[in-house]
Amino acid sequence: MRFLALLLLATTLQAADQPQAISLWPQGAPGSEARKDEAEKQEGANVVNVHNPSITPFIPAKDATGTAVLIAPGGGHSKLCLGHEGYALAEWFQEHGVAAFVLKYRLAREKGSTYTIQDHAMADTRRALRLIRSRAKEWNIRPDRLGVMGFSAGGELAAFAAMKSDPGKPDAADSIERESSRPDFQALIYPGTSGLFSAEKGMPPLFIACGYGDRPDIAEGMATLYLKYKAAGVKAELHIYSEAGHGFGYRPGTTTAAGQWPNRFMEWLKDSKLVP
């Protein structure tokens, strides 16, 4: 019990130290306006009851590369795992010169939810990419080096964002809507529903990490997806870690091969000339 109390205290202190979240739609997300002021609920390191989707920015204080990544945590669309699939990784990126933005999106499979993945969670993801681009100068990032990364359920959103995007509406009254929703690169970390993913010429380059011990639709699905990208002529890099399963995320201090995947990702960004 004492250990649990200390863990909860550490989680609370960590949350208090986080940068301020920025609402994607200050007047409320489309379809959620009436609930925009409803409080989120904290369950350990996880968050539920998200009706006012947001991003939390982690901007490098020095040695900024100009590259940025939007992070979509997992949680089966019923919760957001903001610990090992969100804030910890965002801080790691920040320390390595990459601006990171943790996305809180609406949850389509939370009990009693009226949201859907395509109409609400994806609207949040695309809006987040536009918002980041609209403030690129302020945050010292290049609008042509903005990628999306997702874990598990969040990996679905990242994949869908790469599959379908638009250049924005130049005449939109909302300046954010004038920006493109296309990610310049994508990273899928043990994403779900891989059978729905496609690859076409011209899509953003792809980095994949998953575990050999994961569900067949993920471990085998990612191998299949890599081949789809290869056939489409879109560069992709695949890491399947033999001693990992689902949900390894990023935990500081982990020394396993799977725990070192962020380093492999940074190497991929450098090889791909997405960081200088």
- Residue 69 contacts residue 101 (beta carbons within 8 Å): yes
Q: What's the rounded Cα separation, in Å, for the pair 127 and 124? A: 5
Task: Quote the pLDDT of residue 16.
Answer: 53
- The stretch 140-166 carries a mean pLDDT of 98
Task: Quote the pLDDT of residue 194.
Answer: 87
Residues of the chain with pLDDT > 70: what percent?
A: 94
Q: Which of 41-45, 53-57, 157-161, 187-191 has the lowest average pLDDT? A: 41-45
- The one-character DSSP state at 176 is G
- The stretch 49-61 carries a mean pLDDT of 98
Q: What is the pLDDT of residues 248-258, one digit of tens each?
A: 999 999 999 99
Cα first-last separation, the chain: 47
- Residue 259 contacts residue 251 (beta carbons within 8 Å): yes
- Residue 228 contacts residue 198 (beta carbons within 8 Å): yes
- The stretch 116-126 carries a mean pLDDT of 98
Question: Of the candidates 196, 258, 261, which has an alpha carbon nearest to the alpha carbon of residue 228?
Answer: 196
Q: What is the pLDDT of residues 179-219, one digit of tens each?
A: 999 999 999 999 998 889 999 999 999 999 999 999 999 99
**Residue 3 clears pLDDT 70, i.e. is over it:** no
**Residue 244 clears pLDDT 50, i.e. is over it:** yes
Q: Where are the domains of the chain?
A: 2-271
Give 96 or 16, the one with higher predicted confidence.
96
- The stretch 157-163 carries a mean pLDDT of 98
DSSP 3-state assignment of 240?
A: strand
Nearest-Å Rg of the Cα atoms of the chain is: 18
**Residue 259 clears pLDDT 90, i.e. is over it:** yes
Superfamily of domain 2-271: Alpha/Beta hydrolase fold, catalytic domain (3.40.50.1820)
* DSSP conformation letters of 242-265: TT--S-----TT--STGGGHHHHH
